[in-house]
Amino acid sequence: MAKVIVVGGVAGGATAASQLRRLNQEIDITIYEKDRDISFANCGLPYHIGGEVDERRKLIAATPESFNEKDVSVFTYHEVVGVNTDKQFVTVKNMTTGEEFNDTYDYLILSPGGRARVVPGLENVEEAFALHNIEDMDRIMEYIDENKIQEAVVVGTGFIGMEMAENLRLRDIGVTVVHRNENIYGHIEADVVAVLHQEMEKHGIDLKLNAEVERYRDGYVYLTNNEKVKAPLVIQGIGLNPNTEFLKDSGIKMTGRGLIPVNEYGQTNVKNVYSLGDVMETRYLHVPEQPANIKLAWPAHRIAYVIANHIHGEYNVKFEGLLGTNIMRFFDYEVGSVGIPQETVRNYEHFVIDHQQNFKAGYMEGASKIKIKIYVAHDGTILRASVISKSGVDKRLDTLAAHIRMGGKAQDLVNVEVAYSPPFSSPKSFLNMVGYKTIEEMKKRGLM
Amino acid sequence: MAKVIVVGGVAGGATAASQLRRLNQEIDITIYEKDRDISFANCGLPYHIGGEVDERRKLIAATPESFNEKDVSVFTYHEVVGVNTDKQFVTVKNMTTGEEFNDTYDYLILSPGGRARVVPGLENVEEAFALHNIEDMDRIMEYIDENKIQEAVVVGTGFIGMEMAENLRLRDIGVTVVHRNENIYGHIEADVVAVLHQEMEKHGIDLKLNAEVERYRDGYVYLTNNEKVKAPLVIQGIGLNPNTEFLKDSGIKMTGRGLIPVNEYGQTNVKNVYSLGDVMETRYLHVPEQPANIKLAWPAHRIAYVIANHIHGEYNVKFEGLLGTNIMRFFDYEVGSVGIPQETVRNYEHFVIDHQQNFKAGYMEGASKIKIKIYVAHDGTILRASVISKSGVDKRLDTLAAHIRMGGKAQDLVNVEVAYSPPFSSPKSFLNMVGYKTIEEMKKRGLM
């Protein structure tokens, strides 16, 4: 009987294990997870702190017990510390007893995820937390309650920083956000997210730009701009480092940043070793020469299915690459993007279309602007698009993603047929207008 | 100088005229409109009655004066009563003076639209109104105010019937809806829209099923089920008849129902004669042998652009056919469909997938179900899909439409990459799950 070891039991690993069990009742499956919990909804953690997720248990999709019922063995607080790909075994450390042991595999699925980076100057500061798993969430909520926290400092403005700023405010905790430059939520263009500065102000968030943490002392964060901010609680949201050090001598290929490249089946360079989740490096679907490391739930779930199928012997299920589709709600706004990163776009000849109109019929109560910035290569390939509005951003991003995935170019957007009625859009719809503008621009440039 | 005559100045005709003027500053353009107004937002009319469109002027996109400024001649209250396609002239009746005259054309654009059907038994009833243009809207609003209307009967449950029922309730007018069978909003499957019965009840609408109007007397509607309902105001929403009688002897091909078939350029069978809007019959994009008559704004606007380009000599702008994408909001619900009609689906071998899950992450406050019924041909072609939920229906329909338009099959839905964050969807997203179910079903049936 073939034996599968899964390293890491959160989104990617747990889903791969479930999918494989669904396909194959015989195969032996073991999950090693270094932390306390498996299979929880990481994306939901900030919303339980803010109260929009009312019950903690709703965040837990599966437990070791529920996996055991499906005949999947789960070992929590067990860290895989080494892999021998020649002899096909992993070395596991039982973190409770300190004991180490080896376990052999026929197939190895690596989903070790990352760990939150510590803000320089906040090392060993008790008041500073990251939010990466349920343990973190529990600790933060307990800490807030026990210390009757009324103000907090959030360092960084990625997903976690922004979502924590919002959710702390929703608990009526005063929030100061510290960001190292002027471009908050920096994976989206500064001019697109400019309105979020006002949104922060409107919701009572104090935004410190061009500032970094210098040190923490006596309940205050001292910033490089010589300000100090009262900070009985600090949330650090400056990104993740991949947990892949244990693979150093394994022969599994990694990038300089510690990411694991995989092919269309989720396979690494080593036979019978797969990888997924935050440590996976794949390709952009529409710009296939561009590597993609997208630390989001959708890719993890999709490639979990592909890996499960491949191990089960279904070789026609492939992963065709990513579009990096992402979205965040920030108070009254929605913002997101699809396509390659801003920085990468520069490597391709392109033109930019900026467009805005109302997200629904302009004569309807509550209508307001939706804005797009779209980068079009000279053949019409949509390299990237960023969208912001109070409503309807998810719809435009999903539609763009479906269009791009099936080979649609920017000039084809004129034909995107929308479900129109005044509460939803306009008959000359948003993406259609982007298509018309693209055609105009391409004609002007002699590209069509 | 070439001369263009446009018959009908509402959505289709007015847009064609504007687009043509934008492309071509020289060409002579004249619009004949038999009614009072041109270029207004028909779809917005119910929402001004309900108050969601606060200002009447917002519904008027252009006036004869604004068209004159663009050097387009507009004659309102001028009905085209005949067309001579041999000698290329139209006969126009000035409805104010009764005078008739001929006007020659090089190109003729037919956008005469339809007129609301009168409910049998309500002929010449002063209290009975249709809602087809701004004149109707003005009359209804005046009538409501002058007569301090507190209850109304709505006959029919198409777009107008449902939207008027909602908007009259939003004005706190008591509403009884009369429908001839049990399937309200009959262009969507009865089991999909079943929940709208409760939604009507919840919002105080009295629904009379399996009932038709027999007669009107002394302020009451008498129904075929022997009930009578107090009806100081009656709204008729039982569909449109095409205004194409004037084309009877023109040589322009029409269907038995009076619709005008067009090709991918919007051309009729007669040289230099185009047609669009509610009277146009085109094809379904993904099931091209199926004729499509979609009385919606999106197709009118799109083909207006195609026709304008064709007249201007741009022959590579084509109209590739429709998907019939539609949506309606009804109080707290959104419902719509994409693809060929229910009745037509029966002509194709297919299987049906019913799927439901939460429209956003299930652990989030306010999450509730989104349901789809999708008809898949044996090669995976998505023949039709209907979707209902309290949120996110427009997103799924638009995404499906983009997917289908670019050639995507039902089994490819597993790869539709969504913008995920808990307020918007799930990582195992709605359309992905439909794709997974499709693959399972196709395997079970030996289709893949």
* pLDDT greater than 90 at residue B427: no
What's the CA gap between B410 and B435, in Å, rounded?
A: 6
C-alpha triplet B118, B123, B126: angle, nearest 5°: 105
Residues 278-307 of B with CB under 8 A from A: 296-302, 305
Number of helices (H), then strands (E), belonging to chain B: the values are 11, 26
What's the CA gap between A354 and A360, in Å, rounded?
A: 18
B-chain residues near A58 (CB < 8 A)? 362-363
A-chain residues near B399 (CB < 8 A)? 395, 398-399, 401-402
C-beta separation of A129 from A29 below 8 A:
no
- Best probe of the B interface among A59, A306, A316, A363, by most B CBs < 10 A, is A363
Q: Where in chain B is the domain with CATH 3.50.50.60?
A: 3-114+241-311, 118-236
Determine, for residues B406 and A407 on separate chains, whether the beta-carbon distance falls below 8 Å.
yes
A405 in contact with B, Cβ within 8 Å: yes
Topology of domain B333-444, per CATH?
Answer: Enolase-like; domain 1 (3.30.390)
Per DSSP, the three-state class of B296 is coil
Determine, for residues B365 and A54 on separate chains, whether the beta-carbon distance falls below 8 Å.
yes
**Pairing, β B260-261 against β B280-283:** parallel
Starting at the earlier edge strand, list the strands of the sheet with B78-84: B78-84, B89-94, B100-104
B-chain residues near A336 (CB < 8 A)? 419
What's the CA gap between B121 and B132, in Å, rounded?
A: 20
A-chain residues near B395 (CB < 8 A)? 394-395, 398-399
B402 in contact with A, Cβ within 8 Å: yes
Question: Would you tell me how many other CB atoms lie within 10 Å of the CB of residue B196?
Answer: 22
The residues near A195 (Cβ < 8 Å, ≥ 6 apart) are: A333, A388
User: Model confidence over A32-89: pLDDT tens digits?
Assistant: 999 999 999 999 999 999 999 999 999 999 999 999 999 999 999 999 999 999 999 9
Q: Which of B43, B51, B296 sits opposite A422 (nearest CB)?
A: B43
Helices (H), B383-429: 393-405
User: Model confidence over A272-307: pLDDT tens digits?
Assistant: 999 999 999 999 999 999 999 999 999 999 999 999
User: Model confidence over B318-338: pLDDT tens digits?
Assistant: 998 999 999 999 999 999 999
ipTM score of complex: 0.96
Determine, for residues A395 and B393 on separate chains, whether the beta-carbon distance falls below 8 Å.
no
What's the CA gap between A293 and A315, in Å, rounded?
A: 23
Q: How confident is the model at residue B281 (pLDDT cuts 50, 70, 90)?
A: very high
Query: What's domain A336-444's superfamily in CATH?
Result: FAD/NAD-linked reductase, C-terminal dimerisation domain (3.30.390.30)
Number of helices (H), then strands (E), belonging to chain A: the values are 11, 26
What's the CA gap between A273 and A108, in Å, rounded?
A: 5
Which one is catalytic: A36, A43, A248, A366?
A43
What's the CA gap between B215 and A299, in Å, rounded?
A: 61
The encoded tokens of residue B198 equal 């409760």
Measured in angstroms, the CA of B152 and the nearest CA of chain A are apart by 24
Average pLDDT score over chain B: 97
What H or E segment, with its residue span, contains residue A283? strand A280-283
Q: Where in chain B is the domain with CATH 3.30.390.30?
A: 333-444
- Catalytic residue check, A43: yes
Residues 70-129 of A with CB under 8 A from B: none
Residues 201-260 of A with CB under 8 A from B: none
Determine, for residues B422 and A328 on separate chains, whether the beta-carbon distance falls below 8 Å.
no
Determine, for residues B408 and A402 on separate chains, whether the beta-carbon distance falls below 8 Å.
yes
Determine, for residues B403 and A408 on separate chains, whether the beta-carbon distance falls below 8 Å.
no
C-beta separation of B409 from A394 below 8 A:
no
Determine, for residues B422 and A58 on separate chains, whether the beta-carbon distance falls below 8 Å.
no
Q: Nearest 5°: phi and psi at A41?
A: -90, 85
Q: What is the pLDDT along chain A (448 residues), one digit of tens a residue?
A: 899 999 999 989 999 999 999 999 999 999 999 999 999 999 999 999 999 999 999 999 999 999 999 999 999 999 999 999 999 999 999 999 999 999 999 999 999 999 999 999 999 999 999 999 999 999 999 999 999 999 999 999 999 999 999 999 999 999 999 999 999 999 999 999 999 999 999 999 999 999 999 999 999 999 999 999 999 999 999 999 999 999 999 999 999 999 999 999 999 999 999 999 999 999 999 999 999 999 999 999 999 999 999 999 999 999 989 999 999 999 999 999 999 999 999 999 999 999 999 999 999 999 999 999 999 999 999 999 999 999 999 999 999 999 999 999 999 999 999 999 999 999 889 999 999 999 999 999 999 9
Query: What's domain B3-114+241-311's superfamily in CATH?
Result: FAD/NAD(P)-binding domain (3.50.50.60)
B146 in contact with A, Cβ within 8 Å: no
C-beta separation of A129 from A115 below 8 A:
no
Q: How far is CA A34 from CA A6, A8, A79, B35, B308, in A?
A: 12, 7, 4, 74, 65
Q: What is the percent of chain B with per-residue pLDDT over 70, rounded to a whole number?
A: 100
User: Model confidence over B345-401: pLDDT tens digits?
Assistant: 999 999 999 999 999 999 999 999 999 999 999 999 999 999 999 999 999 999 999
Question: With the C-alpha atoms ordered B77, B296, A428, A394, is the resulting torsion angle positive or negative?
Answer: positive
B-chain residues near A170 (CB < 8 A)? none
A60 in contact with B, Cβ within 8 Å: no
Architecture (CATH level 2) of domain A3-113+240-312: 3-Layer(bba) Sandwich (3.50)
Closest residue in A to B429 (Cα) is A298
Topology of domain A118-236, per CATH?
Answer: FAD/NAD(P)-binding domain (3.50.50)
Question: With the C-alpha atoms ordered B416, B422, B427, B432, is the resulting torsion angle positive or negative?
Answer: negative
Q: Where in chain A is the domain with CATH 3.50.50.60?
A: 3-113+240-312, 118-236
Measured in angstroms, the CA of A84 and the nearest CA of chain B are apart by 33
What's the CA gap between A149 and A164, in Å, rounded?
A: 14
C-beta separation of B269 from B259 below 8 A:
no
Residues 341-380 of A with CB under 8 A from B: 361-365
